[in-house]
Structures are given as structure tokens and as C-alpha cells.
Chains A and B, each alone.
Chain A
């Protein structure tokens, strides 16, 4: 079978997964929300109508999906190597801080500031991921703990800057920075809030895919992710690659923060991210860690976020119920995905499921 046919088949399968989830979701919402006196299926349908059916809703979904794509790519590349980088949120904040610093404090020079903000965001995100990467590679310290702590560090640092040194003079006392100058803005698309970050994310997905599936280095990363002991045996430089993968992961998450600054918010606010870095983990898993599957999955989650907001505003559904609704949809999406994977996938080899003797070692 040709590579194109394989990709096409996989794409169809992923679509089937999503469609299956939607159907089940409508039913389950009907039952659960019905108990609260709300027409469940109606609310659910409204959620999708608000986020997909209107030009505004759809564009807002894309806006929310953009940082999810970048952060999802960040998570996927790390998870591919079985590096559990759950610090996407912190790296995202680090990227945002760097971007904000460039926008606020860098004196005007020849090039538009936005051209410097994004590289700065990448660098800051990568820097945030560097310490966990080095600790993992050299001492075997769990990257889970270190990246998680990085999250608090970056968020608190953002708080501090917003309440203190970077607090704006034109913000009526609100803890946030001033609006960035105009040359710090990403271009937007025809009257919507969809911005250039989308193109960056899409290009990033393709580049990451090419890196992992079309280069010798990416091959090594995939071998290491499949069996670290085999990678060691084959003579790959796993320790170095751990650091490099963490840097790429951090840079992508940082970029997510950067485009959120330059494309949407245009000023630093405390807690500006509704947990994009965490939701990205979900995005990455649902996309089965495949870079090209990440944009559609991120869009799906962006729809959930947008639809939820719109429901509160237009239909007056209480926010707690919206949360329940979103939770249900996600839960069922995960379940349907697992279910369909089992039905479509090859039978598991019995010897595989029970061979942990060969796992868990190596670095």
C-alpha cells in the first residue's frame, strides 16, 4: 500500500472517531442535562452551532485552537520520545513573558517588533524546558516533576510582573501591562480575530511531521520512544536527543504563548491562558501524537471552548452546566477514540502486552 493510501485511511479513521464521539455525546447530554431541566441534546447542538455554524463562532474556535495546536505539537514531540513534558503551560507563559518583554521594552528598531517577539518566545519556552531536559539526561531526574514545577514558577512570575514592575499606566489599576505598540501585532484575517499564528501552527505541524518521519534524526527519536534500550543498542545519542527534544518541545509551547500575545491579547495579563498547556496533553493524545492530526483535534477542542462560552452568553446556560457538558463531550470523545482504536487496530500481540521486562529501563 502506498504511503498516501495509508495516510488517507488513517485520516478516514480519525474522522470516524470524531463522528462517533459526536453522536454518542448528543445522546449522553440529553440524558444528563435533561435531569437538570435543560433540553440536553438541544444545548449540545447549540454548543456546536455556536462554535461551528456561524462565521463568528467558527473564527473564535480557530482563535482558541491556534495556541492549542502549537502546544499540542510541543507535547506530541516530547511524548513521542516518552518524555512526559507536562510543563507546556509553564513554557507557554515563559514564551508570553519574553514576547511581552520585547513588545514593551525593546526600543524601536528597523524591523517590526512582532518579528522579534516570536523568536524570543521560542527561546524562552526552550529555556524553560532546558533544565528538565538536562536533569533528565544527566541524572535521570523525572521530567514530570521538574516540568510541573516550571508551570507554577512561570505563572507566578507572570503574576508578579503584572501586579508589579510591568503594571501598565493606562490600565485603570488593573493588574496587566499596557497595550503593546502596534508593530507588535500579528496580522489578522478579514475582520475576525483569527491571526497569523494559525499559519505558523500549520506550518509547524508539517515541519514537525517531516522532522520526525523524514529525517534520520527523527527516526532515532521514534526508535527511542518505541524502545529506549534498542536505541541505546543501536548506538544513538539518546541523552543528547533528550535535551534536543525538550528544547523543541519547549520552543513550540513558548511560541504558543508568543502568538497568543501578539495575535490575540496584545498585553500581558495574569492567568491569561485557560490551561492551554494542559489541554494540549489531551490534544496530543487524541491525535495519537501525530503532528498532522493535531490541527483538527485542536480545532475540535477550540470548538468546545468557544461553544461553551457562547452558550453561557446567548442561551443563559449556567457555567457549571457548561462545564459538565464540555466534560461529557471530552470524556466521550476519549472513550469513543479508544473504542474505535480497538475495533480498527490489529489484534494486540499477547507477547507484547506482557513484556514489561523490556520496558522502563534505559533513560
Chain B
């Protein structure tokens, strides 16, 4: 079949950074094309150009053989090209349903609500997503926001659908639901672009693979017969070898943190009902659950950002219930939030400024009330160097970093000194293979040095590999507690669904 979209010689620079360098890419109807590459390779940029968010510097886009130039995302959408962005793009002040209605001209205004509600429910069911149509989008957890953004774009029935890391925070079950739908779309003739750092998924869903490195295409070809190792080799040049995880001492001692019968009544995320939890120094406690099961609320309660309506939070022996988050920080609690742009970073400020955001009291940064510019820059440059953030210019606004590089900044900042308790919500979100390995090793190293870690992850394999103990959340309750040695994916999967049906 002739390609519906042909990209030819696409080139785009930002200042001195060449994000795309003469990229050629063909998308065929009915095919799922995976675009892969290390963090900062230029995947999002390339797709933003196709979807009308960026203007290209050079090159040509042909749609059904005709040369086109889009001036805005709306332009591209009219031509039948839709995109799910790496960071969900929703109107935080509007409900989920309203977000789904935005820009949907197919339904007369008066009929919108009921009809839209039905249609959204049907679509969500097909995907296995649980929709909460009347919640403000800004109050959803990242995973739920991601789902809504996916739904929004699926509902548009476009000819070319781009998904930029749609599964970064989705569990295997949710991903499976998404894949069923994507395959159905492909069967119906839609051309799809799928970006992910999860290579197993790519092997499962993609027909074609294109690998970018430093903005250039270094490999393109059919997906069958391409092993993850080969892909990584293309992406990185050299993959580097997984360091053997050294066995950690058994966690012991008094709990670093405890939750006692925690209830939340905040509209935000899912509500928690009577959660009891403790985590020991040196222990990695995995938290598994579907989107919206209450992970975010759990994390925010433990970090002091959400006051529980009942129960108690203890850090060490101290009852911290209702205290402001700065007291938690002072007691040695560090938090890597899942919503990196919304919570963890100030996108308009520079890399250096973001690197000191949670270290303001650090004596290196200046005397008394004075904040030394030079010290801040050095702080940022050091972090960029240590975490391999590219480009590492400490004076550049963070919003210009690629998603994976933002994540490196966030994780690096919160783990630059071993804390007493680390709450890590999707710490591997959007990291490429090498950075993932790096951060995994970091988490294990922290645990060895006595940090208690609460690891919230969508990736069951990661949880099994890293955790000493795994609790499963469903609908705001802990429904199971497992040891990695005596459980497996399947059982965890069942646990995560378990409470769902029972209600």
C-alpha cells in the first residue's frame, strides 16, 4: 500500500541543538510504526512537526502524495492527523467529559452531554479504562490524565494517529486494552505512530521500526526479527551492560514511615479507605495498582502534600499527621512525583534553578538569605553532569528539555543525597534503556545505604525485580501483600483487578 504520510529530509534545530537532521519516514495505512531512540533523540520533535505544533526548518511533508504545511495542531487535525503528547494536554479546570467534548464538532451542542457520556463510556470500556467523567481533569493522577488524553484522541477518528509514550504510566493490563484498540484501528486502515521506551511492548505491537539517534535515522525496517538488544544497540551505539544487582542486606529496624488507617476525602486522585502501611529502612516497598487506584493519594499523603481526613502518618516515631510538607522534608522525606511537569518542576525556570528547588537551604548555595548565582549554576551543572542530562546547559529553561531528560533532572535532584524515606512515583517514566538501568541501580544503592523506598510503578516486572515486598492497591484499599520471590506477574495482575469487580 502506498504510504499516507511521507516525511522527507525533515530538519529542525533549536538554537544550537539539532533535534532532527534530514529525517525520512513513511507511514502506511493499517500499519503501526514504532519510533524509537534514546532520550533527546528527537522523537517528540519529529512528531510535533508532523502534528503541526512545530514548524520545520527544512524538508517536506507529503500527505497522500501532496505536499502540506501545517500552521497549527488544529490544521493538522483537520487534515486527519492527531497526536497524544508525551505530557497529557488537558484543561485542568474542566471535567473529564468537558475535556472530551472540546473541539468535537460531530455532536450538536445541546445533545453533547448525554451522548458524549455514552460514547466515552463505550470507548473507555473497550480499552479497559475506568473513566470518572465528572472529575476535574486537574485532580486526576497522571495515569488517569494519560488515559483521558488517549481517549480524546481516539474519539477523533483520524487517519494518522501519533502516540508519544502513551504507555509510560500504564500497567500491563491497561496497555493490553490499548493495544487491542490500536490493532483494531490499524485493521480499519489508520496509520499509527507509537513511541515507547518499553521494547517488549514495541515488539508486541509494531509492524515497522525506525530508530533515531541524535536526530538522525540510524535504522528502519520491519519489526519482526528485531531483538530488543539490537534495538538498544542502534539507539545507543553501545548498550552498556547491566550491572549485577548486589544482594542487599535484609531490611530491619524500626519503620522509617508508617501509615495507620489512612482515609482521604480529597476530590483528588482516588480516595483512600483505611490504608495501613509501613516501610523499613533499607527496604524497597513496591506499590502496584491500576490507574487511579490511589497511588498518587498515597504518595501525597506520605509526602505531606495531602492531609488525610482520618488516620495517622508517622515518619520515624514522630506523628506528622496534618503537618505541612516542609516538615516532612525536614524529617528526611524526598518525593519524586509522577506528574513531573505539574508538580516536580517549574518548567519556565532554568535547569539550574530547578536543580536547587528542593535544596534551597543547602549551605553551598550562599550565605544567609543570599542565593549565589554562581553556586546555583554550579549546582545545576553538577547535577546535569551526574545524571547525563542533555543538553546540560544550566541556564536553559527546563521546558525545553526532552521528557526523559526532565525525568533525569527530577530523579537526580531528589536522590542527590540519600534520604531517610524516598517516595518514588513512576521514577522510570520515559527513561531510555541506559537511564533506566542507571536509576534502578541508584534505587538499589539508596536502599543498601539505609533509605526506605516506596516505589510506585506501573511496570510489574520492575516491581518484581526491585522490591522486597509489594502491596497491591485497588480502589483505594490495599488488597494484597506479596513477596516477589513467591509471586508472579499473573498473580499481581489478578490482585490489581481483584477488588475491581467486587466493588
Contacts and interface: CB of A to CB of B under 8 A. Distances in A.
Contacts of A318: none
A218 B15 contact: no
Contact of A223 (B15, B90, B342, B349): B349
A289 to B, nearest CB: 12
Contact of B358 (A234, A237, A357): A234
B392 to A, nearest CB: 14
Given A222-B349, A350-B54, A235 B324 contact: yes
A232 B87 contact: no
Contacts of A229: 342-343
Interface in A192-234: 213-220, 222-223, 226-227, 229-234
Given A235-B326, A358-B138, A360-B138, A351 B341 contact: yes
Interface residues of A, number: 38
B395 interface: yes
Contacts of B371: 214-216, 218-219
Interface residues of B, number: 58
Nearest to B99: A357
For A219, A230, A237, A347, which residue has the most chain B Cβ atoms within 10 angstroms?
A: A230
B345 A230 contact: yes
A172 B369 CA distance: 54
Main secondary structure of the interface of B (DSSP, over half): loop
Contact of A350 (B53, B339, B347): B53
A346 B373 CA distance: 23
A230 B348 CA distance: 12
Main secondary structure of the interface of A (DSSP, over half): helix
Given A347-B14, A360-B93, A226 B370 contact: no
Given A227-B346, A350-B73, A237 B326 contact: yes
A216 B369 contact: yes
B329 A235 contact: yes
Contacts of A226: 346-349
A227 B410 CA distance: 15
Interface in B9-53: 14-15, 44, 48, 51, 53
Contacts of B395: 1, 6
A354 B342 CA distance: 12
A230 B337 CA distance: 10
A233 B305 contact: yes
Contacts of B435: none
Contact of B90 (A231, A349, A356): A356
Contacts of A217: 369
Contact of B92 (A6, A227, A349, A359): A359
Ranked nearest first, the 8 interchain pairs of A and B with the lowest CB-CB distance are: A358-B342, A350-B53, A235-B326, A354-B89, A357-B92, A226-B346, A357-B90, A227-B346
Interface of B: 14-15, 44, 48, 51, 53-55, 73, 85-93, 137-140, 145, 303, 305, 324-326, 328-329, 335, 337, 339, 341-349, 353, 356-358, 360-361, 365-366, 369-371, 373, 395, 397, 399-400
